[in-house]
A and B are shown apart, each in its own frame.
Chain A
Amino acid sequence: MSKRLTSRRLFLLGNNLFLLLLAIACLLPLINVLAVSFSSSSAAAAGLVKLWPIEFTLASYKHALGKKEFIDAFIVSLQRVALGYSINMLLTILIAFPLSREKSALRSRSVYAWFFIVTMMFSGGLIPTYMTVRSVGILDTMWALVLPGAVPVFNVILLMNFFRNLPKEIEEAAHIDGAGHWRVLLSIYLPLSKPAIATITLFVLVGHWNAWFDGLIYMNSPANYPLQSYLQTVIIEVDPSLVSNTELINSQLVSDRTFKAAQVFLAALPVLAIYPFLQKYFMKGLVMGSVKG
């Protein structure tokens, strides 16, 4: 019996050690890039930086934060998150509520439901969508980033399922007291749905912050790029013809590598900052979405 206990203990120890190493392995790439961003350009260029900054300096961060394009793109991203979130959330609630009604309350419920579901299963694809956005006349405006994805069907289903699991009696009582659909939604359903709405909020915020491809194709002028689209052009693809003279002079002070690392880290910072506080909602939401009520 005691031999069995020791082998169990050994297993647990080994298991914990393995999981710890796995978690560290997940973070190592991020730590390495963070260390590079705080290192001197010569140390980074020579490949000396491992997991701790060498010749600590904030030069790359000063360079990034002093760069007009970077700040502008950051502001565009913040605006996009604010506008996009408001539209997504409003529409999610306004669609989820009627779809959560019984067929007796909304006879065309299943017609509406299929109308939205179809868009999850079939899409026009890249070119027709681009052509549509162009003919609506919103290219190069903020609307091109928030309207094409304005109805997040997956989130609608999530919230609809949550609404359906709320006790029916409260709503019936409210109807008897003379409350209409709007009243039931605003004063009863919304206050009761805080956990679901918090979860959807976080996914939508992160989604808008991380989106980059739409900015790249719908914005003609790079001045309108949100941060991730801007980073895509400066970090992933570097076109030598775009590098101006002043930038060449600057780049002698700040190596390309440390500068890129600093920008990557700055773009990840908002997500990194909210993550530890909100991850319990992320987990909750995930379980909510996968295990249907």
Chain B
Amino acid sequence: MTSTSRSKRLRELPLHIMLLPGVLLTIVFSYIPIAGVVIAFQKFVPAKGIFESKWIGLDNFAYVFNLPSFTNVLWNTVFISVMKIIAGLIVPIIVALLLNEVVGKYFKRTIQTIIYFPYFLSWVILGGILIDILSPSSGIVNDVIKWLGFEPVFFLGDEKWFPFTLVISDTWKEFGYSTIVYLAALTAIDQHLYEAAIVDGANRWKQTWHVTLPGMMPIVMLMTVLSLGSVLNAGFDQVFNLYSPMVYSTGDIIDTFVYRLGLLQAQYGVATAVGLFKSVIAFGLIVLSNFLANRYAGYRIF
């Protein structure tokens, strides 16, 4: 009995050895930082370290929640990310449906290739491009606006426009990606359904409405439910590269707030508290969204 379990253990050994480096790195760079969130409950002083710093309970949380700017930051985060989720849902569905109607294979592939490209550029590069083309004095976008007879718009410096600039430019970068996911779902629809619909006298519009859209629904549901988990991620990379103090009132989000508080003002405990607050809510949302995805779309992470 012991000898079989021993030989079994021996046979498993190479697998454990394979996993070892990954496990060690994950402990150091993922689990130790998770344990490090205790500084959210401390008046953390780097010179004293985690073990010597003073414990202050929930003071950091109380301090942040009483900041007038924090409610604003929270609202901005949710507003911007919900708008992004909605735009990122509607635009790719429409484009996928239109691409699905295209007859020429080569044309279809070319369009797909082009709209997918911005997805692969970093927000530093896209930020550089947007700052240039959106400039009120010399940018090409405002040239067109002036040519049409309107007043130039300061997209990145006007607090009214800034959130919408974020949503539109994010959609520009991301919609190619989701379009391809939806197109893949479309090609998986059973062709017999279309034949049956034609026999029943359905025209193209009715086929789209009664066959294509319902066929897409599971993957649309899945993508939507999964995006629920990132409602507090309004896009740090994008906002950080496009915002300025002029638009803090409508453009400052949790992640940029944590960055300034923690790394620029060295309020480590407070910044960690905000980060923890965000992580806990995000965790709850991820668990919820996975539960919903599993329940309604039969999806599981692994």
Determine if chain A interacts with chain B.
yes
CB pair B180 A95 closer than 8 Å:
no
Interface residue total, chain A, C-beta cutoff 8 A: 95
Give chain A residues whose Cβ lies under 8 Å from the Cβ of B99: 19
Binary per-residue interface labels of chain B (24-40) against chain A in the complex, 1 for a CB within 8 Å, 0 otherwise: 01101111111111010
B-binding segment of A54-62, A120-128, A244-252? A120-128
Q: A-B pairs with the 8 shortest C-beta distances?
A: A124-B33, A125-B275, A128-B36, A47-B138, A210-B122, A98-B15, A128-B33, A119-B30
A-binding segment of B77-85, B101-109, B191-199? B101-109
Task: Please measure, in the bound complex, the distance between the C-alpha atom of A117 and the C-alpha atom of B302, giving whole angstroms.
Answer: 9
Q: A268-B121, A287-B184 are in contact. Are A32 and B15 (CB under 8 A)?
A: no
CB pair A23 B114 closer than 8 Å:
yes
Q: CB-nearest residue of chain A relative to B99?
A: A19
CB pair B113 A235 closer than 8 Å:
no
CB pair B181 A286 closer than 8 Å:
yes
Task: Please measure, in the bound complex, the distance between the C-alpha atom of A96 and the C-alpha atom of B46, giving whole angstroms.
Answer: 38
Q: A32-B133, A125-B258, A264-B128 are in contact. Are A232 and B32 (CB under 8 A)?
A: no
CB pair A33 B279 closer than 8 Å:
no
Give chain B residues whose Cβ lies under 8 Å from the Cβ of A228: 122, 124-125
Distance of A275 from chain B, by nearest CB (Å): 6
CB pair A33 B132 closer than 8 Å:
yes
Binary per-residue interface labels of chain B (248-279) against chain A in the complex, 1 for a CB within 8 Å, 0 otherwise: 00000001001100110000100110011011
CB pair B39 A18 closer than 8 Å:
no
Tell me if B207 is interfacial: C-beta within 8 Å of chain A: no
Distance of B11 from chain A, by nearest CB (Å): 8
Q: A19-B99, A121-B287, A235-B124 are in contact. Are A127 and B131 (CB under 8 A)?
A: no
Distance of A42 from chain B, by nearest CB (Å): 12
Task: Please measure, in the bound complex, the distance between the C-alpha atom of A148 and the C-alpha atom of B117, giving whole angstroms.
Answer: 28
Q: What residues of chain A have their CB less than 8 Å away from a CB belonging to chain B?
A: 4, 8, 11-12, 15-16, 18-20, 22-23, 26-30, 32-33, 36, 44-47, 50, 91, 94-95, 97-98, 101, 105-107, 112-113, 115-117, 119-133, 136, 147-151, 157, 160, 180-182, 185, 206, 209-213, 217, 228, 231-232, 235-236, 257, 260-261, 263-264, 267-268, 271, 275-276, 279, 282-283, 286-287, 290-292
CB pair B37 A124 closer than 8 Å:
yes
Distance of A223 from chain B, by nearest CB (Å): 18
CB pair A95 B275 closer than 8 Å:
no
Give chain A residues whose Cβ lies under 8 Å from the Cβ of B278: 125
Q: A15-B98, A95-B22 are in contact. Are A127 and B39 (CB under 8 A)?
A: yes
Give chain A residues whose Cβ lies under 8 Å from the Cβ of B124: 210, 212, 228, 231-232, 235-236, 267
Tell me if B47 is interfacial: C-beta within 8 Å of chain A: no
Distance of A178 from chain B, by nearest CB (Å): 12
Q: A20-B111, A127-B268, A157-B301 are in contact. Are A107 and B29 (CB under 8 A)?
A: no
Task: Please measure, in the bound complex, the distance between the C-alpha atom of A213 and the C-alpha atom of B279, giving whole angstroms.
Answer: 19
Task: Please measure, in the bound complex, the distance between the C-alpha atom of A122 and the C-alpha atom of B35, giving whole angstroms.
Answer: 11
Give chain B residues whose Cβ lies under 8 Å from the Cβ of A232: 124, 127, 241
Give chain A residues whose Cβ lies under 8 Å from the Cβ of B16: 98
Give chain B residues whose Cβ lies under 8 Å from the Cβ of A264: 125, 128-129, 132
- Residue pairs across A and B with Cβ atoms less than 8 A apart, 11 shown, are A26-B176, A33-B128, A47-B138, A127-B275, A128-B39, A132-B36, A157-B301, A157-B302, A213-B236, A232-B124, A261-B128
Q: CB-nearest residue of chain A relative to B49?
A: A135
Task: Please measure, in the bound complex, the distance between the C-alpha atom of A19 and the C-alpha atom of B275, giving whole angstroms.
Answer: 42
Distance of A35 from chain B, by nearest CB (Å): 9
Distance of B217 from chain A, by nearest CB (Å): 15
Give chain A residues whose Cβ lies under 8 Å from the Cβ of B188: 291
Distance of B225 from chain A, by nearest CB (Å): 13
Tell me if B87 is interfacial: C-beta within 8 Å of chain A: no
Give chain B residues whose Cβ lies under 8 Å from the Cβ of A160: 302
Distance of B181 from chain A, by nearest CB (Å): 5
Tell me if B299 is interfacial: C-beta within 8 Å of chain A: yes
CB pair B30 A291 closer than 8 Å:
no
Distance of A120 from chain B, by nearest CB (Å): 8
- Within 8 Å by CB of A231, from B32, B34, B128, lies B128
Binary per-residue interface labels of chain B (172-214) against chain A in the complex, 1 for a CB within 8 Å, 0 otherwise: 1000110011001100100000000000000110000000000
CB pair A148 B29 closer than 8 Å:
yes
CB pair A33 B15 closer than 8 Å:
no
Give chain A residues whose Cβ lies under 8 Å from the Cβ of B131: 235-236
Tell me if B151 is interfacial: C-beta within 8 Å of chain A: no
Give chain A residues whose Cβ lies under 8 Å from the Cβ of B19: 94-95, 98, 112
Q: CB-nearest residue of chain A relative to B290?
A: A121
CB pair B184 A291 closer than 8 Å:
yes
CB pair A132 B26 closer than 8 Å:
no
Tell me if B23 is interfacial: C-beta within 8 Å of chain A: yes
Q: CB-nearest residue of chain B relative to A119?
A: B30
Give chain A residues whose Cβ lies under 8 Å from the Cβ of B133: 29, 32-33
CB pair B23 A115 closer than 8 Å:
yes
Task: Please measure, in the bound complex, the distance between the C-alpha atom of A20 and the C-alpha atom of B103, giving whole angstroms.
Answer: 14
CB pair B34 A122 closer than 8 Å:
yes
- Within 8 Å by CB of A19, from B28, B33, B98, lies B98
Q: CB-nearest residue of chain A relative to B219?
A: A290
Q: A124-B30, A127-B275, A290-B181 are in contact. Are A257 and B37 (CB under 8 A)?
A: no
